Amino acid sequence: MDLLSDILSRMHLSGTLYFRTSFTSPWGVQVPPFENVSRFHFAHSGRCYVRVADQPKAVLLEQGDLIIITRGAGHTLYCDPATEFQALRLDEMVEKSGFSGSGILVYGEPGVSHETQLVCGHFALDKNTTHPLIEALPSHIHIRNYGEIAGHWMESTLKIIGTEAGRGRMGGDLIALKLSEIIFAQALRTFLNTDGVDRPVLAGFSDPHISRSLQAFHDAPSVNWTLDKLAAVAGMSRTSFASKFSKAIQTTPMAYITHWRMQIAKQRLASTNTPIIEIAEETGYHSEAAFGRLFKKHVNVPPATYRRNFR
C-alpha cells in the first residue's frame, strides 16, 4: 500500500455527509467547532465566503472549489461580507428551515436568482492514532476548481456526490458517503504536491529520497530498520540522510519509526485478541519485555493495561 494510503487506512479514515444545501441570499450560518474531525464544504453550484475561526482573511469559495477545515474549527459561511455578522447558528438555521435531517437544507429568500449549493460533511480519523503529516496540516486547505485539478474522474465523482446527496434516491446517500472518503485522500495528495511542498514536515513526504525510505518502512514495519538501511533505500549517505530527514520531518528517522510502530500496536491491542508477543513481532520487536518497556514509555501504561482500559 502506498505511503498516504497506509497512513489514512491505519488512522481509520471515514467520511460523513451532513447535507446538501440550497441557500439563497441573504444567508449566513455559524458552524460550531467539533473535535477530532476535518470538516469540508464543496461548492457544487454558486459561491460563498468562509471564515475559519482565528483566521484574519475569509476564503472565497467559488463553484467547483473545496475547503477542508482540518481540525474541526468553528467557521462561518455567508453569501456576502455584509451578512457575515448576521449569520445564524447552525441549529437556528436548521430549525427555521424545517430541515428534518434528510433531503436538502433549504434556506433564504424564495425566487432569488443567486443560489449556493454546497455539499457539506466531515472526515473523521481515529482519535487514538496520530501522525506527523496530519498534525502538520494548516488550519484549512482550499483547493480551487478541485474537480479539474484532481482529474476528470474526481470531477465526475464530485458531480455524482452533488447529485446523489440528499436526493432521497434509493442508495444515493450511501453512494455519496463512500465517494466522499475519496475526497480527503485526493485533497491531501493534491495539497502535498502543491502548497504543501514548502511547508515544514509536509515537504518531507514529497521529497523523493525521504519518501522512498518512508515507503519502505511503512511496507514492512516489522523489519529491523536501522539508520544505515533507511539511508541505503533513500540512496544517500547515513549522515546526509539523517540530517535531511530530521530537518524535513522535524523528528529523527528512528523516532518516526518508533512513533508509528506504537500507533500500530495501539490499534492491534484495542481491536484484536492477538497475543502481545505477536503484536511485538509485527512491529519489529522480538522480545515482549522490550516491546512492553518501550510501549509504556510512549503510552504511559503497559500493553495489557492499555488493552484492558481501552475495552
Alpha-carbon gap, residue 117 to 133, rounded angstroms: 31
Q: Under CATH, which number does the domain 3-197 receive?
A: 2.60.120.10
pLDDT of the residue at 243: 97
The pLDDT score that the predictor gives to residue 176 is 64
Q: Architecture of domain 207-310 in CATH? A: Orthogonal Bundle (1.10)
Inter-residue contact 269 to 308 (CB < 8 Å): no
Which pLDDT value is given to residue 159?
65
Place of cell 530527514: 245
Check residue 83 and report its DSSP letter: G
Q: Give the angle 229-230-233 at the CA atoms, nearest 5°.
A: 90
Q: What is the pLDDT of residue 110?
A: 77
SS3 65: coil
Q: Which residues of 175-186 are buried (b: 16+ CB within 10 A; e: fewer)?
A: bbbebbbbbbbb
Cell 500496536 maps to which residue?
A: 265
Q: Which of 186, 140, 144 is nearest to 60 (CA)?
A: 144
Length of the chain: 311
pLDDT at 149: 62
Please name which of 122, 75, 103, 97 lies closest in space to residue 24, comparing C-alpha atoms: 97
Task: Please give the chain's pLDDT, 311 residues, in tens.
Answer: 789 989 988 888 887 777 789 999 899 999 999 888 899 998 988 999 999 998 989 999 999 899 999 988 999 999 999 889 999 999 999 999 998 877 788 998 876 778 999 988 888 888 888 999 999 999 999 988 876 666 566 666 666 666 665 555 656 566 666 677 778 888 888 898 888 888 989 999 989 999 999 999 999 999 999 999 999 999 999 999 999 999 999 999 999 999 999 999 999 999 999 999 999 999 999 999 999 999 999 999 999 999 999 87
Domain positions in the chain: 3-197, 207-310
